[in-house]
């Protein structure tokens, strides 16, 4: 049993597909410009669960902007700044949750990215994500940068961004990899994928932080409705169906929906010449998207003139063993106004966490004796990699369990194992047995003092990312 405590951004993926009306797009095209016409530049970037974070200079200060291909234009987290300029009119925009809001498109007069200066870059300004971004990013670039004819290489192995206006600059590298054409709908790119029973066109959303592959249940139902073969395949790959709470953060805030969640295991998913193996897919989603987790294993070229993606595996092996099944225990931020706690659990029935007494709706009260007043405090603690004690409380006020994690140490083991598996697939049975024995040994280590307090303290369990 691998109890899940890390991630728990949970289903709070920063999915921010911003819909911009045609009138606003024309205003963007009119004002938005770049300082050079023939250039190549290299910038050091940061990685956030596969997402790309680019340092830029605005008004003499360094800001961190995520590169979000799921957004048609840029966005700014927070309030309007004195140096921003209005684009000229208010428009109605929508976020990833289809929430609409009338807002003004503002312009960043001058934004320096490496040696390139971007003039009058358009952004939607809203503070709805402030409680979820936790200072990691200040905003994001949208796919409109690519629409300006700029090509990019995201070298995610060495944390570098290479951008250029020159056609054919990446041609030598592109010859060694499959071309994955994209088509732009609503100012964002969609690419073809191959799953066992279909070839769906998916949004490539680098703003879906930590996400692998998402398909909504209603889409699967539609495919299976009049096709018995697809229904048979879906039934064979469906491992679990349960009611769950879906929490997503969109540009204008979070949504909380009770939905039917199907848990499916796709043996393979193909994206160009990349083959993802054992991909666990949750249908508790509104989106059909490929997320940023892929970029932890591959680098990416976006060739603007060719309107194509190229995926470059870090180790040269196009086959990636994903094996991303979670434990059935996730955390979500509590609804606004909830006075009982800041973080709530979602527990899948039949899991070890459920058997040990945790229930959907229990609150996370503290981590290592530090109270959890908000999501950002929680993220800071779990990202330190040294968390050991988690205290839960039911809505009725009863303490539930203490669960521990030696995430920092075991995460390195798991990541090393995944790297070995991708290079030497035949070692999979050996490593799987070794991992199972390690999990059993760690799971049964209990702390007597915690039991006296009416709970249990489990130490040394690896906490993988749940998306």
pLDDT digit string (tens) for the chain, length 467 residues: 223 333 333 333 333 434 444 545 555 566 788 988 899 999 999 998 889 999 999 999 999 999 999 988 888 988 899 999 987 766 666 555 555 666 778 999 999 999 999 999 998 888 777 767 778 899 999 999 998 899 999 999 999 999 999 999 999 999 999 999 999 998 899 999 999 999 999 999 999 888 899 998 889 999 999 899 999 999 999 887 776 555 554 444 555 555 567 789 999 999 999 999 999 998 877 789 999 999 999 999 999 999 999 999 999 999 999 998 776 777 777 877 888 888 888 887 777 778 778 888 889 888 888 898 887 888 777 766 665 678 888 888 887 655 554 433 334 334 444 444 444 444 444 433 333 333 333 333 333 333 333 333 323 332 332 32
How much is the pLDDT for 5?
A: 33
How much is the pLDDT for 107?
A: 93
Closest CA to 212 of 330, 102, 296: 296
How much is the pLDDT for 442?
A: 33
Q: What are phi and psi of 413, to 5 degrees?
A: -65, -50
Contact predicate 346/282, CB 8 Å: no
User: Residue holding tokens 């940068």?
Assistant: 145
How much is the pLDDT for 378?
A: 81
How much is the pLDDT for 232?
A: 94
> What is the Cα–Cα distance from 255 to 248, expressed in whole angstroms?
6
Q: In the structure encoding, which two tokens stand for residue 382, read together?
A: 């779990």
Domains, the chain = 22-165 (2.40.70.10), 173-321 (2.40.70.10), 329-409+441-458 (2.30.42)
Phi and psi based region of residue 152 (left: phi greater than 0; alpha: psi -120 to 50; beta: remaining): beta
Closest CA to 231 of 277, 262, 270, 192: 262
> What is the Cα–Cα distance from 374 to 354, expressed in whole angstroms?
24
Q: In the structure encoding, which two tokens stand for residue 179, read together?
A: 């071309």
Q: In the structure encoding, which two tokens stand for residue 207, read together?
A: 């703003």
How much is the pLDDT for 142?
A: 92
Return the exposure string of 317-354: e unless at least 16 CB atoms fall within 10 Å of the residue's CB, then b.
Answer: bbebbbbbbbbbbbbbbbeeeeeebbbbbbbbeebbbe
Most distant CA pair in the chain, distance: 69
Phi and psi based region of residue 403 (left: phi greater than 0; alpha: psi -120 to 50; beta: remaining): beta
Give the predicted TM-score (pTM) of the model: 0.77
How much is the pLDDT for 297?
A: 96
Q: In the structure encoding, which two tokens stand for residue 373, read together?
A: 């007043």
Q: How many CB atoms lie within 10 A of CB 162?
A: 18
| Total length of the chain | 467
Q: In the structure encoding, which two tokens stand for residue 236, read together?
A: 């064979």
């Amino acid at each position: 049993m691998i109890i899940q405590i890390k991630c728990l951004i949970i289903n709070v993926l920063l999915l921010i597909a911003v819909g911009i009306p045609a009138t606003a797009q024309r205003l963007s095209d009119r004002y938005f410009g770049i300082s050079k016409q023939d250039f190549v530049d290299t910038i050091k970037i940061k990685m956030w669960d596969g997402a790309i974070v680019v340092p830029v200079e605005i008004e003499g200060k360094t800001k961190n902007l995520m590169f979000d291909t799921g957004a048609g234009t840029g966005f700014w987290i927070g309030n309007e700044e004195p140096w921003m300029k209005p684009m000229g009119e208010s428009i109605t925009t929508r976020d990833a949750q289809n929430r609409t809001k009338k807002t003004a498109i503002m312009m960043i007069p001058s934004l320096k990215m490496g040696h390139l200066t971007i003039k009058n870059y358009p952004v939607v300004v809203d503070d709805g994500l402030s409680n979820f971004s936790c200072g990691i990013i200040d905003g994001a670039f949208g796919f409109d940068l690519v629409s300006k004819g700029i090509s990019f290489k995201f070298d995610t192995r060495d944390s570098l961004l290479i951008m250029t206006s020159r056609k054919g600059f990446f041609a030598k590298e592109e010859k060694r990899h499959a071309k994955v054409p994209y088509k732009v709908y609503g100012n964002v790119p969609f690419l073809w994928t191959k799953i066992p029973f279909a070839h769906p066109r998916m949004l490539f959303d680098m703003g879906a932080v930590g996400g692998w592959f998402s398909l909504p249940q209603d889409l699967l139902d539609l495919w299976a409705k009049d096709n018995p073969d697809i229904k048979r395949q879906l039934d064979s790959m469906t491992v679990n169906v349960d009611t769950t709470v879906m929490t997503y953060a969109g540009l204008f805030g979070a949504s909380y929906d009770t939905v039917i969640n199907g848990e499916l295991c796709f043996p393979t998913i193909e994206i160009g010449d990349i083959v993802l193996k054992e991909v666990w897919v949750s249908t508790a989603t509104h989106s059909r998207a490929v997320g940023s987790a892929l970029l932890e294993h591959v680098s990416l070229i976006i060739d603007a003139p060719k309107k194509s993606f190229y995926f470059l595996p870090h180790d040269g092996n196009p086959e990636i063993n994903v094996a991303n099944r979670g434990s059935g225990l996730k955390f979500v931020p509590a609804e606004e106004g909830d006075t009982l706690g800041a973080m709530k659990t979602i527990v899948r029935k039949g899991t070890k966490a459920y058997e040990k007494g945790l229930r959907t709706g229990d609150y996370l009260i503290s981590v290592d004796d530090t109270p959890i007043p908000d999501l950002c405090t929680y993220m800071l603690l779990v990202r330190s990699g040294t968390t050991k004690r988690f205290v839960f409380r039911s809505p009725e006020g009863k303490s539930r369990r203490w669960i521990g994690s030696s995430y920092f140490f075991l995460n390195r083991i798991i990541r090393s194992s995944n790297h070995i598996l991708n290079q030497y697939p035949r070692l999979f049975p050996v490593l799987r047995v070794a991992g199972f024995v390690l999990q059993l040994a760690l799971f049964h280590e209990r702390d007597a003092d915690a039991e006296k307090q009416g709970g249990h303290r489990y130490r040394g369990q690896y906490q993988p990312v749940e998306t």
